[in-house]
Amino acid sequence: MRITIWSLLAACLAGMVVTPAQAENWFQRAKQVYRRNVAWPEPFIYPDREAVLAPFDVMVAKGWQRQNTLASDHFDDEKGVLVEAGRRKIDAILTRTPPAHRVIYVERGPNYAATEARVMAVKAAIRPYFPADPDPQVNVSILPAPGHPGAYTSDLYTKFRDTTPNPRLPAPTQTGVQQ
Q: What is the DSSP string of the chain?
A: -HHHHHHHHHHHHHHT---HHHHHHHHHHHHHHHHHHHTTHHHHHHHHHHHHHHHHHHHHHHHHHHHTEE-GGGEETTTTEE-HHHHHHHHHHHHHS-GGG--EEEE--SSHHHHHHHHHHHHHHHGGG-TT-SS--EEEE-SPPSS--HHHHHHHHHHHHHHSPPP-PPPPPSSS---
Q: What is the pLDDT of residue 1?
A: 59
Alpha carbons 88 and 85: distance in angstroms, whole number = 5
Q: What is the pLDDT of residue 39?
A: 84
* Percent of the residues in the chain that have a pLDDT greater than 90, as a whole number: 40
Q: What is the pLDDT of residue 176?
A: 56
| Angle of helix 84-96 versus helix 112-126 axis, rounded to 10 | 60
Q: What is the pLDDT of residues 41-82, one digit of tens each?
A: 887 888 899 999 999 999 999 999 999 999 988 999 888 899
CB atoms within 10 A of CB 108: 15
* Mean pLDDT in residue range 10-16: 59
- 27 pLDDT band, cuts 50/70/90, is confident
Please state, rounded to an integer, the average pLDDT across all residues of the chain. Answer: 85
Give Cβ neighbours of residue 121 (< 8 Å, ≥ 6 apart): 75, 80, 81, 82, 86
Contact assessment for residue 105 and residue 146, using Cβ atoms and an 8 Å cutoff: no
Beta bridge partners of 107: 141
- 162 pLDDT band, cuts 50/70/90, is very high
Q: What is the pLDDT of residues 76-89, one digit of tens each?
A: 988 889 999 999 99
Q: What is the pLDDT of residue 106?
A: 95
Q: What is the pLDDT of residue 18?
A: 66
Q: What is the pLDDT of residues 107-145, one digit of tens each?
A: 998 899 999 999 999 999 998 888 887 777 899 998 887
Give Cβ neighbours of residue 103 (< 8 Å, ≥ 6 apart): 64, 65, 68, 137, 139
Q: What is the pLDDT of residue 122?
A: 95
Q: What is the pLDDT of residue 136?
A: 73
* Percent of the residues in the chain that have a pLDDT greater than 70, as a whole number: 88
